Amino acid sequence: MAQRFDTISAEHRALIDRQRVFFVATAPLAGAGHVNLSPKGLDCFRVLSEREVAYLDLTGSGNETAAHVAENGRITFLFCSFEGPPAILRLYGRGGVVLRGDARWAELAPGFPDLAGARQIVVAAIDLVQTSCGYGVPLFEHRGERDALVRWAEKHGPDGVAAYQARENARSLDGLPTPLATRAADGEGRT
């Protein structure tokens, strides 16, 4: 039932564009390290080309994805069709992080919603697209977006968010540095 493709087709892109949530998975190289799987929403995923995607990453409780892709680049995205015909789509690739002030930030940021707490943009070069049936995925109805994360960032303001990032987002669960920590160590200041 699974099919493999070298690139993201128009049909794949249409499926991705219809989804209200996606999942991103990464892992450190160390076998004892923690695999991370995070749900994402808020209309923050973009297909940039048939081989490149990006998502706007908001400040959260951890920063595992950034630490893992900085270490080894491996990244997988999962989309499930919770409404309409069943389908699962996975994008496998190599990722990296674009921070505010990086050369690509000005190019990529206008393509995303302007949300308080935007931390970085995760970009990935896709080398494998896999689809499968999704017959076991339940049907759900979308009732709306949660705004708690954005409200939290607005309440704390840029300085409060930066302090939180420095305290909580500088290292992974396994102690790997994130690009935010690397930039701070290089003396480039707040992102």
Number of domains in the chain: 1
Q: How far does Cα 96 stand from its chain's mean position?
A: 10
Q: Average pLDDT for consecutive 10-residue bins of the chain (191 residues)?
A: 94 97 97 96 97 97 96 98 95 97 96 96 98 94 93 95 93 93 67 39
Tokens 């002030």 -> residue: 101
Question: Is there a domain that residue 113 lies in?
Answer: yes
**Residue 82: CATH number of its domain:** 2.30.110.10
- 99 found inside a domain: yes
The residues, ordered by sequence, that sit 6+ positions from 48 with a Cβ below 8 Å of its Cβ are 54, 108, 123
In a domain, 116, yes or no: yes
Residue-level pLDDT at 187? 64
Assigned domain for 190 exists: no
Q: Tell me what pLDDT residue 183 has.
A: 79
pLDDT at 190: 45
Tell me what the pLDDT averaged over the chain comes to. 94
Q: Who contacts 137 (Cβ-Cβ below 8 Å, separation ≥6)? A: 80, 81, 82, 86, 88
The pairing of strands 36-40 and 45-49 is: unpaired
pLDDT of residue 138: 93
CA distances to 38, 79, 135 from 85, rounded to whole Å, are 24, 13, 9
Query: Does the predicted model carry a pTM greater than 0.85?
Result: yes
Residue 63 is encoded by which pair of tokens?
Answer: 């920063």
User: 25 in a domain, yes or no?
Assistant: yes
- Structural domain of 89: 3-136+145-185
